[in-house]
Each structure stands twice: as structure tokens, then as C-alpha cells.
Copies of this chain bind each other. A is one copy, B any other.
Amino acid sequence: MRLAKLIILAICTMLVCLVQDTSAQPSLAERLGYPKDAKLLIVHADDLGMSHSVNIATIKAFETGLVNSGSIMVPCPWLSEIATYARANPQADLGLHLTLTSEWTSFRWGPVTSKDRVSSLLDKNGYFHLTESEAAAKADPKEVEMEIRAQIERARALGIQPTHLDSHMGTLYQNKALFETFLRVAREYKLPVRVAKTWFSRADFLPSTLKTDDVFIDRVLDINATVAPSDWAKFYTDAIKKLEPGVTEIVIHLAYDDAEMRGATHDHPDWGAAWRQRDLEFFTSDAFRQLLKDEKIKLITWRELSKLLQK
């Protein structure tokens, strides 16, 4: 009994030491060369390649310098247009928005891989499943791995050199097997993935799968459907005013509220055409520029984070 107590005490001591060691490690901000209390922000536009409207709105936002990162959906029909932009702008901070869902009912896409080889990823019509939960429930992780590798290789063949990876509709965070697959591929390519410390309480497999070598940011912010359209700017303004030190990514969805986007999102106002136009208006506004200045927020990119993995 006395021996058991001693063993438990020893284990506890080791754990305390480990925790102290962890807290003693430099923060991500410090590893990037910034003060520990710096407020570092990535303003990230998802869904590039999905449609012309998304592409041209996001490129316009990149030109303001206020939106400084984005990720590309390789299986989507307008990939070629954004690949042309990527080749002409090699400094642009472009990652891949790995895609395993096709969520709009009038406008669909499917895999890069030959369909016969990834049948678990497909609905009865040969497109990706409509929702992330259906995709995650049906997807064979081996087929997921094949498809995400194919998306990365297709992007590279088109001259896109991705700086990071994330997952459209969060499909690759839906369960441990998918997240392990995602991380394995990302590590092989030495690319950081979108993972935030604030997500660790949501799913045990997130912290347990990550290694100390992996790069993960402090938090991800995004708007949601409970915010009234008239409160859009207020939501973002409040979030930015309350921004804590460390590395934050704000995830936005840009497009014009035009015929193409209204057609694609007609039965789904969440992340729809008007939503994306509101995001575009706020994140290209003088008010947002002033806010960054007033709050002493420094914009950083995934490219900076990726360099931590490539040392």
C-alpha cells in the first residue's frame, strides 16, 4: 500500500513537471518572433475555387491587404481561375480547403480521385455527400487519405504551393480516424492545419492526436447564423475589440450577392450570397482597417506558421 502511494506520488510529480515544462515552452507568438502579449490575426477567406463570385470577391479583398489568407477547394469548377491567380501571385497566402462535401443542391462537385476508388465518399449521383456528418459517417479513412492526397497533388500540378491545410465544413474534424488521417498527410507535406487550442475541450482526440512538433493556433473566430444581418459589423467589431493575445484566425466567406451566388445558395441562407456580401463589406472597410490599428493587431499569415514546420 505504501509502495502504491509512492508510485502515485512519483507519477503526480512527473505530471506536474511535464505541465511546468509545457508552460515553460515559448508561446506560438514567441516562436514566431513576436512578444508573448502580441495580438496576431490571420484574416482567412474560405471556399476559393467554388465559384467565380467567390474568386473575384476574395481577390478584391486580398488587394486591400485586410484579408490576407485564403484556402482553395480543389474539386470545384472554378479551381483553374484561382490557380491562375496563385501562379501570378506566388506571395499570396493560399492553402487548400480540403473538400469532401458538396453542400449546395443546385450546384455540385465530386472527387479528384477516380470515382471507383473512393465510392464511400460519394452519394448515389456520384457527387460528394451533402453534409459533413453524412460524409464522416460513410467515409472510409483510406479513401479519404487517397482523395486529400489527390487534391494536394492536383493543386501542386496547377502551380499552387499551399501554405496550409484546412477542411471544408470541418469534415476532417468529425472523428478521430479522419483527424489522424488529416494530420498524417499534413505532417508529410510539412503543412500546418487549422486547429485551435480552444477546440480541445470539444473533442478529446484533438489534443491526444497532436504532437508538440505540430503547430496549432490559439483560437478560431467565425460568425454564425444567430447574428442578425444588421448586427454583422457589430459582431465582428466586438470580437476584434475583445481579441486576446496570441494567434487568432478569423474565418470568413467572401462573395458578391450576385445571380451566380444566389443561384448556388438559394435554399440555404446560412453562408449564402447575402451573408458573403456582408463579410466582404466589413472586411474590406475603412472601419476594419482603423480597428486593426486602434487595437494594435498585427496581421500574420499561415506562411509564417508553416516556416516553423520547415526548419
Residues of A within 8 A of B (CB): 51-53, 55-56, 76-81, 84, 105-109, 112-117, 124-126, 154, 157-158, 256, 258-260, 263-264
Contacts and interface: CB of A to CB of B under 8 A. Distances in A.
Contacts of A78: 106-107, 263
Contact of A259 (B52, B105, B124, B157): B52
Nearest to A124: B157
Contacts of A56: 259, 263
A104 to B, nearest CB: 8
B84 A106 contact: yes
A52 to B, nearest CB: 4
A105 B84 CA distance: 10
Nearest to A127: B80
Q: How many copies, total?
A: 2
A259 B53 contact: yes
Nearest to A109: B77
22 contacts: A51-B260, A52-B107, A52-B260, A53-B260, A56-B259, A77-B77, A77-B107, A77-B108, A77-B109, A78-B106, A80-B106, A81-B107, A84-B105, A113-B115, A114-B116, A115-B115, A116-B117, A125-B158, A126-B154, A258-B260, A259-B259, A260-B260
A97 to B, nearest CB: 17
A274 to B, nearest CB: 16
Contacts of A256: 259
A93 to B, nearest CB: 21
A154 B79 CA distance: 24
Nearest to A264: B52
B259 A125 contact: no
A79 B105 CA distance: 10
B157 A125 contact: yes
Given A80-B106, A84-B106, A258-B259, 19 more contacts: A52-B259, A52-B264, A53-B260, A55-B263, A56-B259, A77-B109, A78-B106, A80-B105, A80-B107, A81-B106, A84-B105, A112-B126, A114-B116, A115-B115, A125-B158, A126-B154, A258-B258, A259-B259, A260-B260
Contacts of A258: 258-260
A307 to B, nearest CB: 29
Contact of A260 (B79, B105, B109, B259): B259
A260 B105 CA distance: 18
Contact of A52 (B114, B125, B263): B263
Contacts of A81: 106-107, 263
